[in-house]
Structure 1
Amino acid sequence: MHRTDTGATLVEDAPPTAPPTLSADTTTDAPAADSWRTFGARLRHWRRRAGLTQAQLATEIGYDHTAVSRLEHGTRRPTPRVADQLDQLLGAAGDLSATCHRAEQGEQAGPPVPAGLTRPPLPGITADLPPLPLPLLVSRPPARLPDYGMLCPLHGAVGCAVPSAPDLAALHLAFCTADPLTAPPLDADTAHALAGLLAAHLRAGEAHGHPDTATAVERTLRAVLARLPGTPAGRRRPLVRLAAEYAHAAGVLRMQQGRNATAMTCFDRALSWSELADDPATQVAALSDMGNLARLDGDPGSALGYAREISRVAPGRHWAAAMSQVSQARAHALTGDVRQTVRHVGRARLHLDHIGVRDESDAPWLSIASMQLRVEAGAAAALRDVAAAVDDPRLALRAVSAARTALRLLGPHQLPSSRLLFTVRIADCLVCAHDPDSAISLLGPALESATPGLPALVAHELRGLRDRLATQPGRRPELAETTRRLTELAR
């Protein structure tokens, strides 16, 4: 897990001694600025690998931590002497020194992309795949972007047309089969095709659980990564952003299949690439899902660390702060800490009142209703977990209210599995409130229409409710039948 940097930004103090000189803040053209952002990303990588916070590293070189923050964001340049000092201190084996030298020389091709950034999350996944062209697994791509949370990697949320299905297939095939070292930079039509295809694959994977969807996503990710070394530094960002989105999507699809270790690897790569692309929405999404996996593993400490990191990667964004707070509530709930759970739920709800235009520009899926849905769904789970831990029916009834709010906020186009998830969560909260009869009555219609093969998170919720029902006193037929049906669906 990445460490959380310390403190808020402070005015930089004059160093007590005469350290190596840092040059002024950068005011360069886009390719040069991109080169220094690349240096900053490499510095962040090596600092975290060394286990140091920004403040600790700054102390080592005699500076305030804000200087290190500016270096990592590419808004301040190091001198070669500082770069050499950082390289030696962090054990970067010449990487930081060489990256600084290339940035100073202004090489248009930019520094070589480190091997760690071009390594896909799932080695060997394409070994048994048929040769291209692969089936796209979708017949109806979206007409425009944004769609299903996917932005255009070149133009953001302005609204870009996605090529028709035949053209999309041809563009995808050309992209995946081209020689990555001689291929031209990413053009608009191909960018729109790759983003639209990913949105369609995500929708198909979540709706139908097609086993090959994650493999298809990973296959395209490999082609994206192969293009990075030969792309000029000033034109890499769209590719890196696509890499982050594809890696996160692969993680989501693997998590739905119950392959949690593989999903965590995908999310970790997505986090690295989204940091390099300065994409806070994907960073927050990756950290949120990493927290989900930590909770599934019964690791509240790691879940809390991921939740706190959300605020660091998107400072000043109320939507991210709300997600951070509700994730912290869920982590504390696992330990039975009532005070902290309730406190963080309250803070998450307060941030909803302050979401504005800036927040909406960060994430295409963001709206007041969608954020309230996420907060209330998380609040219901947190309050339920802590109510179960301390056996407090009053907390469970608060969880019921939150879960019912989340269910009401579901849109008409939401997947049936999402509606089932919240219905099961309400029933689970009712059981924790010592009202199993109401829970069984609520579950009846929902379980009749459900089919096996549900996403892993829904199956996890079903198993939790089943285990709680199994502890209820009495041997009533309806209780036994509900428990049996939950077991059948949760396989």
Structure 2
Amino acid sequence: MSRRLQPAGSLRAYFGWRLRHWRRARGLSQAELGARLGYGDSHLSKVESGDRWPPPDLPDRADRVLDTGGELAALWPLVERERQEGPGARQVEAIPPSTPSSPTAPEAMEALLAAYHEVGSQLGSRDLVVPLEHHARAVVQWQAGSPEPELGRLAARFAQLAGWARFDGADYSTAQFWYTCGLHWATLADDRDLMSRLLARQSSVHWSVGNAAGAIALAERARLVEGTRPGVRAWACLAEARGHALAGDRHSCEQRLDDAASLLAAADPRTEPWAAQSVLALAMGTCYRDLAARDNHATLATTAVDHTTRSLAAVPTMNEHDRAVVATRLASSHTHAGQPDEAASVLTTLLSPFSGPHGSARVRAEMRVVHTQLTEHWPTVGAVRELTDLVRTHLPN
């Protein structure tokens, strides 16, 4: 795949490209790799070209033979998810190269990107996906038609935000594809911070679909990118901590949380606005909630409540979408702590009145999970029954 990689095709095609990359990096022909894996070179050729789905046993075996560090196995759950979506899965034609309409067009796009970030924090992605991807594709066209590294960096940043918009809409396959394209452009521009951030974003996708191994592997790659700022390394540590929590490894999780706390203390919030203590508190709350969920550990869940409450208090009132994300996580923590009244109260506040930020498919999905847990364990609690009435109205399946 050339430097003109486009956010098009499918994760199946991306998997094939990465398989080809590693095969060539190890100096093997398709016939040689096929012999080691037990597949004919024709079969392998079709997997590499994206014309055939990779067999379920291929990723792990190829990782071992090619010494990829687990990359193909990390990609596999999302490739399989795309396969299960069937013929309707996203297929997009490649975008032809073009040039900016004026010398100041890239600066205008920079300003627009900043505005999208601000609106996303306040309203979420629901009303942003279409215009954001429209403008992202314009920047991608410029990048494809120019050797300028700044355009590659701008394309990578738009890809990162487009990936987030799809992620917030629970469209994880498309989110992952935007992130992989952005990583390619960030690598070409040698933007180490952006490379690490995009790897951490990919880790979050795997965490969201329950793939702890993939989340850990990608976050570790993000953490090991050399030359990144403290806040960026902290972000990677937090992603890795979430992966370890999902896997039930409390020791490794807390080690990465401690690393993140030290790095955040050294970060400059003026140049790294994401490096906020509220982000650390939310990650800690999420990690302890996931650890508590695995072992039905009420004490850990109470710790999760404390951290998540602190995070919610630090989120600006105007950032309604971000507050909805944190509040839903808080309700989940209350549930695992055996506090149904508190959990139901948090969700009731979010659903009364029902408003725009909760149009986020990701938030809605988390709300439904919490509600299901509440009705399974405390169906007769008054606050839970009241919440159920709101859920039927505002969160239909």
Gaps of 5+ in 2: 1-16, 28-65, 67-89
Cα deviation, 1:444-476, whole Å, max 9, x if unaligned, reads 333313337521221232123112212214523
Query: What is the CA-CA distance between 1:228 and the residue it aligns to?
Result: 4.1
- Tell me, yes or no, if structure 1 residue 305 matches structure 2 residue 274: no
Please, what TM-score do these two structures have when normalized by structure 1? 0.57
Contact 2:312 2:327 in 1 (8 A): yes
User: 1:490 and 1:255, CA in 2 relative to 1: closer, same or farther beyond 3 A?
Assistant: farther
Equivalent residue number for residue 180 of structure 1: 98
Q: 1:341 aligns with which of 247, 253, 263?
A: 253
- Tell me, yes or no, if structure 1 residue 260 matches structure 2 residue 172: yes
Equivalent residue number for residue 438 of structure 1: 342
Contact 2:219 2:237 in 1 (8 A): yes
SS at match of 1:267: helix
Q: 2:196 aligns with which of 281, 284, 294?
A: 284
Equivalent residue number for residue 325 of structure 2: 421
In structure 1, distance between residues paired with 2:334 and 2:228: 37
In structure 2, distance between residues paired with 1:467 and 1:47: 40
User: 1:199 and 1:273, CA in 2 relative to 1: closer, same or farther beyond 3 A?
Assistant: same
The aligned runs of 1:162-241 (5 Å cut-off) are 180=98, 187=103, 189-204=104-119, 207-208=122-123, 213-228=128-143, 230-231=145-146, 233=147, 236-241=148-153
Query: What is the CA-CA distance between 1:398 and the residue it aligns to?
Result: 1.1
Cα deviation, 1:270-299, whole Å, max 9, x if unaligned, reads 111112122234323322221221122111
Query: What is the CA-CA distance between 1:482 and the residue it aligns to?
Result: 1.5
Which amino acid is 2:280 matched to? V
Contact 1:336 1:386 in 2 (8 A): yes
SS at match of 2:136: helix
Which amino acid is 1:49 matched to? H
Query: What is the CA-CA distance between 1:422 and the residue it aligns to?
Result: 1.8
Aligned length: 318
User: 1:405 and 1:48, CA in 2 relative to 1: closer, same or farther beyond 3 A?
Assistant: farther
Equivalent residue number for residue 293 of structure 2: 388
Contact 1:333 1:383 in 2 (8 A): yes
Q: 2:92 aligns with which of 117, 123, 137?
A: 123
Equivalent residue number for residue 22 of structure 2: 50
SS at match of 2:190: coil
Equivalent residue number for residue 370 of structure 2: 465
Which amino acid is 2:366 matched to? E
Gaps of 5+ in 1: 1-44, 58-89, 91-120, 127-175
Query: What is the CA-CA distance between 1:373 and the residue it aligns to?
Result: 1.6
Query: What is the CA-CA distance between 1:300 and the residue it aligns to?
Result: 0.6
User: Which has the larger Rg?
Assistant: 1
Contact 1:459 1:489 in 2 (8 A): no
In structure 1, distance between residues paired with 2:392 and 2:217: 33
Mean Cα deviation higher: 387-396 or 329-338: 329-338
Contact 1:454 1:490 in 2 (8 A): no
Query: What is the CA-CA distance between 1:428 and the residue it aligns to?
Result: 1.7
Contact 1:466 1:487 in 2 (8 A): no
Which amino acid is 2:92 matched to? P
Cα deviation, 1:44-92, whole Å, max 9, x if unaligned, reads x999921699xx89xxxxxxxxxxxxxxxxxxxxxxxxxxxxxxxx9xx
Equivalent residue number for residue 263 of structure 2: 351
- Tell me, yes or no, if structure 1 residue 483 matches structure 2 residue 388: yes
User: 1:476 and 1:230, CA in 2 relative to 1: closer, same or farther beyond 3 A?
Assistant: closer
Equivalent residue number for residue 448 of structure 1: 352
Which amino acid is 1:345 matched to? L
Which amino acid is 1:467 matched to? T
Query: What is the CA-CA distance between 1:216 and the residue it aligns to?
Result: 3.2
Which amino acid is 1:224 matched to? V
In structure 2, distance between residues paired with 1:404 and 1:458: 17
Quote the sequence identity (%): 24
In structure 1, distance between residues paired with 2:379 and 2:395: 23
SS at match of 1:258: coil
Contact 1:338 1:386 in 2 (8 A): yes
